[in-house]
Structure 1
């Protein structure tokens, strides 16, 4: 069960790679743009890794998106998780534990000034009373201790303003954030898809999937459910079963099909078409193709991002696989 105390740093293990993360990501549908504010804290090392970005394009490299700022060694200093200011210009302050945050970023080309308010309780993936797919022991996603300490996701409303280059936007949409803590090395052993479909303040879908990391680029990526919820009028309804498939161009997502079954036996079938795409990198050693999708569900239209997490060892294996296939031809 997530409590108000979880808004602060947890007591770390002695492992120098102990990490605490949070991510706040939202879309500006009328601009076809998504914004990401990510921080990974390593208190035992006294540093913070942070990636801040804005993208409205379908591009093959990070340097071609609207804004990209990734720092690996920002000083942690005296920052608290509930109230921190980083040297890259990111400021996050929790105004009400696990319910309301103030999010700010200030740079020459991107300014974010928004407030996020939760529309549901934190969805604890280790709480069996909440998540029918909760697992014993805390390990998850074939990633060792990645989320062993804890992890929750939560959808809410985001309001404020964004200035991107020479244009300003009023923001009034949805944001799905997450917070995790545990030992996180530079590489992870498994793959993961992390996605959300935002439709209204009354309805959204969030899901986490696993997939086969050896699936060759360009082939459909079959998704196996790990955790998911449907946010329905403020209630976090757990998903008990689900499948998905991502159609790709190389490793870039182009379309996603989902079928989810919640604990009320309601079936949700979603179809997403990519509006943007680029290869994000949230921390060194990771590679994360990311796309903003235009989702449809029963005639309704929503927006949200989907991100496939690999590490660079997967790319080495895929390159070797391609080399062997070419040699056999």
Structure 2
């Protein structure tokens, strides 16, 4: 199994500068074979209390990081391949969401509560997160691109969307990314996004500002802007490198937080820098 535990609270340009990093590519599966209650050799434990609704997550490296949180879904899973949910389910864009890794994919926004202890300091957690639930074969070489982002306003409102972008656009440039999938979580219901763009202005390869213009299946238009508060290079998978930022989002008088991550394969960088 692949497991990546990251903690970052600042702007850095090297992975070893973040608060905590424990990335393992080949951890053995739990002997039981069950994903309802398992522990891995890196100190991560997961218990599913209610299928596709409630999970308890814990992690302890025995030294500098201890996590004890609960994820509770605020909506049903959103299946990007189900046309009844996603108006873009038949979209055939060559981004990562069209790859085999996302064959059994759904997204779901929820709340996170508990505590995290980092370097001896305990932080109470009362936040939100959007989970990526993928069941498919993930190739080491992934030539599609993806911007994966979310803006969590409150327990009744969140926006999650995925975009494809041109991998030949390099540092300090503006990127116009086209939506591939996404939803607005409105009072517990996931309403699919049918159209949208993300205008990304980069500092280096990191998104500095992001302007979203989105239209949902009910023809409502959503416009919001994000300004990066943190940044770091995040390697979720051996053959790729992602640039993650945590924007502060504004939409009218509403404020939200939620990460934005641009995924590229290492293959793309050899072309960008040569």
TM-score greater than 0.5 by the shorter chain: yes
- How far did residue 152 of structure 1 move? 0.5
Q: Does 1:110 align with 2:65?
A: yes
**Residue 158 (structure 2) aligns with:** 204
- How far did residue 221 of structure 1 move? 1.6
Question: Does the 8 Å CA contact 2:101/2:139 hold for their aligned counterparts?
Answer: no
Name the SS of the counterpart of 2:34 in structure 1. coil
Gaps of 5+ in 1: 1-47, 321-329
Residues 75-90 of structure 1: matches in 2 within 5 Å?
Answer: 75-78=28-31, 79-90=33-44
Name the SS of the counterpart of 2:21 in structure 1. strand
1:74 to 23, 27, 40: 27
- How far did residue 144 of structure 1 move? 6.0
**Residue 247 (structure 1) aligns with:** 201
Partner Cα distance (1:148, 1:94) in 2: 21
Partner Cα distance (1:49, 1:176) in 2: 19
Name the SS of the counterpart of 2:196 in structure 1. strand
**Residue 178 (structure 2) aligns with:** 224
Partner Cα distance (2:115, 2:96) in 1: 39
CA offset digits 1:293-312 (Å, max 9, x no partner): 10001111110000000010
Cα 1:98–1:266 shift into 2, 3 Å: same
- How far did residue 142 of structure 1 move? 5.5
Name the SS of the counterpart of 2:270 in structure 1. helix
Name the SS of the counterpart of 1:315 in structure 2. helix
Cα 1:300–1:274 shift into 2, 3 Å: same
Aligned pair count reads 272
Question: Does the 8 Å CA contact 2:94/2:144 hold for their aligned counterparts?
Answer: no
2:232 to 252, 255, 278: 278
CA offset digits 1:222-280 (Å, max 9, x no partner): 11000010001101111111011111111111111101111111111110000100000
**Residue 123 (structure 2) aligns with:** 169
**Residue 8 (structure 2) aligns with:** 55
**Residue 65 (structure 1) aligns with:** 18
Name the SS of the counterpart of 1:290 in structure 2. strand
Partner Cα distance (1:222, 1:117) in 2: 34
Taking only aligned residues, the RMSD between alpha carbons, in angstroms, comes to 1.5
Gaps of 5+ in 2: none
Provide the TM-score with structure 1 as the length reference.
Answer: 0.80
CA offset digits 1:132-159 (Å, max 9, x no partner): 00027x8862576334521111001111
- Between stretches 176-185 and 229-238, larger displacement belongs to 176-185
